[in-house]
Amino acid sequence: MLRYLTAGESHGPALVTLVEGLPAGVPVDVAAIDLDLARRQSGYGRGGRMKIEKDQARVLSGIRHGKSLGSPVTLMVENRDWVNWTEVMSPTPVAEYSDVRAPQKVRTRPRPGHADLVGALKYDHADLRNVLERASARETTMRVAAGALAKQLLAPFGITVVSHVVSIGGVTAAAPDPAWSAAEVRERAEASEVRCADPVASAAMIAEIDAAKRDGDSLGGVVAVIATGLPPGLGSHVQYDRKLDAALGGALLSIQAAKGVEFGPAFENATRRGSQVHDEIGWSPAQGYYRLSNRAGGLEGGMTTGMDLTVRVAFKPISTLYKPLRSVEIDTHAEAAAEIERSDACAIPAAAVIAECVTAFELARFLVEKFGGDSLREMLANYESYRRQVAAR
């Protein structure tokens, strides 16, 4: 079983992920993990925090001489901003703050749309910082690290995962040319400041972000993830919690600000007749079974079909506004403007990277479940045996 946990606060000393179940013998390139961490920090519309941090993964366990050991892998990313928060975020009691700015960092006015208020009620906190530090999207740093590690397990099986931005605010990109490979989509998206493969839409998205920033507002959007090279049969139809689309949907919706997920053109399919939706099946000696289209987004019955997996994720605008909405002071119940915490005007380019890495980890998890093995060599042997079995049908 492949799984991971993350730990750490936004302004604590470090963020950590522990990945358990990675088979032994997987080649691990830490520089590739750092590259995805840098991709997460980039993108037009990011705020001041990204100018402070330069996220790099430090391996604490589970990797030796560039290969996984089969034991738990622990990765850590230090928070450079911790030096400015040592008293505020101290794990031991502080009798009196020497930093005059420290009392100003107490938060008592919850932001609409954020976890602030509900988290404080649930966990009985008087200072909302106890909630927002963990609820912060800074936590996704380690999800990206875990997903970047998972990509290195997927690679020997010929599986790649890419992402691009579909829309920001009211601007929607033209759909990628069907003739483009996933690598071409990635190349075009990575050349854009907003990670959009459509250059005309990219320019309009930048203008939209600038307008929102001038107004002290924020923007959401939609990102797409494409996974290629998947064999048929990852996931299962036999129980609800073994369906790959259920697991992917849950993982993607757990990303901060994610509010909707669709596989293929799911909402558009809901308006059509079945004859216009279901992917007809073909067979040839060279290909075996294949689909004549991919409106299902590469999933049927909770399992991969062998076609590309395509998924879109909708993200709401960031909850921190520099022209804050109305809120209530939790100490006095008096009406007040919501608190302002350092934030981005738009994080959708970063959200694409996060969704990509979260998807990669879930695919790696189901790959391990399907092909088992304590080592990469054993998994590859099981995989090749399965491919021969499927080809013979």
Q: What is the number of alpha carbons within 13 Å of residue 54 lying toward its C-beta?
A: 0
What percent of the chain shows pLDDT beyond 70?
99
Q: Which phi and psi angles does 18 have, rounded to 5°?
A: -120, 120
pLDDT at position 106: 87
What's the pLDDT band for 71 if we cut at 50, 70, 90?
A: very high
What's the pLDDT band for 95 if we cut at 50, 70, 90?
A: confident
Residue ranges per domain, the chain?
3-391
DSSP state of 280: P
pLDDT at position 51: 65
pLDDT at position 48: 62
Give the SS3 label for residue 324.
coil
Pairing of strands 14-20, 67-68: unpaired
**Buried (b) or exposed (e) across 183-202, using 16+ Cβ within 10 A?**
eebbebbeebebbbbbeebb
Residue 343 near residue 116, CB atoms below 8 Å:
no
- The CATH superfamily label for domain 3-391 reads Chorismate synthase AroC (3.60.150.10)
What's the pLDDT band for 11 if we cut at 50, 70, 90?
A: very high
Give the SS3 label for residue 14.
strand
Measured distance CA(81)–CA(342) in Å, rounded: 12
pLDDT at position 97: 83
pLDDT at residue 343 greater than cutoff 90:
no
pLDDT in tens, 216-271: 999 999 999 999 999 999 999 999 999 999 999 999 999 999 999 999 999 999 99
Pairing of strands 73-78, 160-168: unpaired
DSSP state of 176: P
pLDDT at residue 344 greater than cutoff 90:
no
Measured distance CA(335)–CA(229) in Å, rounded: 55
What would the mean pLDDT of 298-310 be, rounded to a whole number?
Answer: 97
pLDDT at position 175: 94
Residue 77: both structure tokens together: 């990313």
State the chain's mean pLDDT as an integer: 95
pLDDT at position 99: 77
List, as one string, the DSSP characters of 19-61.
Answer: EE-PPBT-B--HHHHHHHHHHHH-STT--THHHH-----EEEE
- Outline where the chain has alpha helix (H): 30-41, 49-52, 116-123, 129-135, 140-154, 182-190, 199-214, 244-253, 266-269, 348-371, 376-391
pLDDT at position 124: 97
What would the mean pLDDT of 114-129 be, rounded to a whole number?
Answer: 96
List, as one string, the DSSP characters of 257-270.
Answer: TEEEEEESSHHHHT
pLDDT in tens, 244-254: 999 999 999 99
Residue 251: both structure tokens together: 């993982």
Interhelix angle 376-391/348-371, nearest 10 degrees: 80
- Residues 6 or more apart in contact with residue 267 via CB below 8 angstroms: none
Measured distance CA(176)–CA(290) in Å, rounded: 22
pLDDT at residue 342 greater than cutoff 80:
no
pLDDT in tens, 39-60: 999 999 876 656 677 899 999 9
What percent of the chain shows pLDDT beyond 90?
89
Measured distance CA(16)–CA(6) in Å, rounded: 6
What would the mean pLDDT of 352-357 be, rounded to a whole number?
Answer: 98
